[in-house]
Every structure is written in C-alpha cells, then in structure tokens.
Structure 1
Amino acid sequence: MTLSLWISLLSACIIISFTPGAGAINTMSNSMRQGWRASIWGVIGQQIALLIHVVIVAAGVGLLVASSPLLFGIIRYAGAAYLVYLGIRMMLSKPEVASDGTSTGHRLTRWAMLNRGILVNLLNPKAIVFFLAFTPQFIRTDQPLLSQYAIFIGTVIVVDILVMFFFFAGTARTFQRFTATYRGAKLLNILFGILFILVAALLLLIH
C-alpha cells in the first residue's frame, strides 16, 4: 500500500469513525453510566465485531481478486457509488435524536459491556455491505494482498478505538447535548454526508 493511499485510508477511517451510529451511542451510554475508563470494554467488543466483518469481507474480496480483476474493478467503482449514495441518503434522512442518557442504569460488568459491544456491531447487517464497498478502494491487485489487508484492518481498528474512547466516551455529555436537538443532528448528518461524497471522489482519483 502506497503512502498516499494509506493517508486516504486514514482520512476515510477518521471520517467514518466520527460518524454517529449505534457504536457511538453505545460508547457514550457506557461512559456516562459506567465511567469513562470502564467504557473501553464496550469499545473493545465493538472492535471484535468489526474485525469479524472485515475478515469475512476481505476473504471474499481476496477470492474475487484471484479469479477476476475485472470484477474487482467493477466492485471498486460500485463501492464508490455506494459511498456517494450513503452520503446523499444521510443528508436527506430524518435524524434520530439521541436521548439525554443522564439516567443511571444498573452497573455492567466488563464482560457484559464486552458482549454488548460485540452484539451492537455484529448484528448490524449494513456493516458487511459497507465494508464490501469500502475495502476494495484500498487494495491493489498488483501487490501482495496479506500485507495490504493487515494494514487495512490495523488502521481501521486503531482509528476506531481512539475515536470511540477519546472522543465519544471522553466527551459523551457535551456531544450528547448537541445531538439531542433535531437541528444539531440534522446539521451533523449533512456534514458527514458531504464528507462521504468527498471521500468517494478522493478514492477514485488517487487509486
């Protein structure tokens, strides 16, 4: 993987990790109810599920590359189109306003947070579809695949851990107050929708 392509991967991972979703809500909830340090167990659980998704998709894409580079290229362009679609859909969608999350719930054990984190990401059927579109953007068919997938998976997981733990968990109350209003959540959807489209354009230009 070239440096320029890795920088694009890093940028895309940062944007995607900052996009609010079920994992972010779960992390904020754990942080506010169980404590910031304890919330790391939920984040780890989410990464385990994310790793499972990426490995499944990477294995499928690897087989596709070996059999037909043409089909791989078709998927790459279709993936970019999907990112554009995702961005447009995000900008036009009605945002889900988060609850204030300030009520105190029962204490969760580390294993309970770990298991819940796994389920939050693993039971999301859109994750595999997303990574199927996302992964081929950063894989070069003329280079060794194993090292590329290792860099890809490592970058995705490290960035997501840092963003989830230090941003969503660390600033949970402030961020939650912002997304508690319809206007704030809508503006956030528009912002990240535009960023998704820009990432798709960047990937097509730089690959």
Structure 2
Amino acid sequence: MIPLHDLLFFVLAALILVISPGPNMIYLISKSITQGKKSGLISLAGVVCGFLFHIVMVSFGLTAVLLAVPVAYTILKTLGTVYLLYLAYQAIKPKSKNIFEVDSTGRHDGPKKLFTIGFLTNVLNPKVAIFYLSFFPQFIRPEYGSVLTQSLELGVVQTFISFSVNFIIVLTAAKVAVFFAGNPFWVKVQKWFMASVLTFLAVKMAFSKAK
C-alpha cells in the first residue's frame, strides 16, 4: 500500500489536473447545459470509463508499448486531433446550435451516443496516457508492495477525484443556461471561444511527442 502522505500529495496533484480545462470538461458542460444534468451524468459515465481504460492500459504495461511504437502513437494522436477539430467546427458551423442554449425541441442525443462520445473524448487523447505513464511512477515504489496493485490504487483514486469534480461541474453547468438565454451577445463569444480552445488543444496535441 502507498503511504498516506504520498497518497495525499497525489490527491492534490490529481485535483489540480482535473480542474484544468480540457476536452472532457468542455463536453460535459455542453451536454449538461443543452440537454440537462441527466445527459451530463450519462456523458460523465462515458468519460469515467475512458479513465478506466487508460488505467488498465497503464497498469498492465500496454500503454508503454503503445507509446514506444511511433506508428501506433501517431495513429492515436491523429485520431484525437481530428476529433477535436471536428468538435471545433461543430461549434461555429453555419446554423450550429449554441452549447449554452437549452434544447426545447425535444431532440436530444440518446444515452448510447452520449456515453460513447464521452468515452471517446477521453480515450482518443494520448495526453491522458502520457500523464499516467509519467506521473504514476513518481508515487510507485517496489518496497510498498505489488507495482500493479499500487498503479490500480492510484488509478482508482484519480478516477474518484475526476468523477467528484466533474459531477459538481455537471450540476452547476445546467444553471448557466439561464444567464446565456438572456444574453445573446455572450452566446456568440462563447461559441468562438469554445472553438478557439478546441483548436488550440488539437494543435497542441498534433505537435506533442511520445515520451
């Protein structure tokens, strides 16, 4: 088992990571506001499963193999970059729907689509795998016991923190729709800001290198 003082430091680091804006947060906020907190929670379930995917990969050493093969890393990075650019285009395309506008038509994405996109938003981000691969070893020591057990322990803690913070974000984001409904100017600002952030993340991912 990892000592409590090391685990507390890891909790602090994981908390700082999850409150940093990224594709997961953007997607959860958009779905929570446009379709309500139930849809946001379903999307959150997909995001959490994406974290579990990365944790299993890291814990069994598969991520290390993936990042060690340039071609495999390039494919995953390319898929993630294209997906982020697609989301950016969706935000500003003609007649696009504002993510802060509550859908009154009754046409919502189904649970399966919400879960799947939430899952892919997390899985198709090689930076998450890189984070786990470079961050976890700092807290894992052979003298603490099984390396696999320690890795899974850190993964569970990080996932719980991510779920807790994003759960609060989902519940809070739904209330923001009221403000934007009465402020159309900020709707346009939001759309272009969102597209800019997504494009920046895509470019940053495109030029990232495997460690």
CA distance in 2, matches of 1:111, 1:61: 27
TM-superposed deviation, 1:63? 9.1
Deviations 1:148-204 (A, max 9, x none): 1232111011111111111x212226599899597xx99xxxxxxxxxxxxxxxxxx
- Could you say what secondary structure the match of 2:39 adopts? coil
- Count of residue pairs the alignment pairs up: 151
Deviations 1:27-66 (A, max 9, x none): 00110011113311111111111111122122229999xx
CA contact (8 A) 1:47 1:161 kept: yes
CA distance in 1, matches of 2:110, 2:63: 38
CA distance in 2, matches of 1:122, 1:40: 18
Partner of 2:33: 32
Q: 1:101 aligns with which of 92, 99, 123?
A: 99
Partner of 1:49: 50
Letter in 1 for 2:52: L
Q: TM-score, normalised by structure 1?
A: 0.62
TM-superposed deviation, 1:6? 0.6
Q: 1:149 aligns with which of 122, 129, 151?
A: 151
TM-superposed deviation, 1:104? 4.4
Q: Unaligned regions of 5+ residues in structure 2, if any?
A: 66-87, 93-97, 181-185, 198-211
CA contact (8 A) 1:36 1:169 kept: yes
Q: Structure 1 residue 158 and structure 2 residue 156: aligned?
A: no
CA distance in 2, matches of 1:52, 1:134: 16
* RMSD after superposition: 3.3
CA distance in 1, matches of 2:144, 2:124: 33
Q: TM-score, normalised by structure 2?
A: 0.61
CA contact (8 A) 2:31 2:40 kept: yes
CA distance in 1, matches of 2:161, 2:122: 16
TM-superposed deviation, 1:26? 0.5
Give the percent of matched residue pairs that are identical in Structure 1 and Structure 2: 25
CA contact (8 A) 1:14 1:159 kept: yes
CA distance in 1, matches of 2:37, 2:101: 16
TM-superposed deviation, 1:20? 0.7
1:169–1:63 Cα change, 3 Å: closer
Deviations 1:67-124 (A, max 9, x none): xxxxxxxxxxxxxxxxxxxxxxxxxxxxx9x986223454011111110111101111
CA distance in 1, matches of 2:143, 2:59: 16
1:30–1:16 Cα change, 3 Å: same
TM-superposed deviation, 1:130? 1.7
1:62–1:125 Cα change, 3 Å: closer
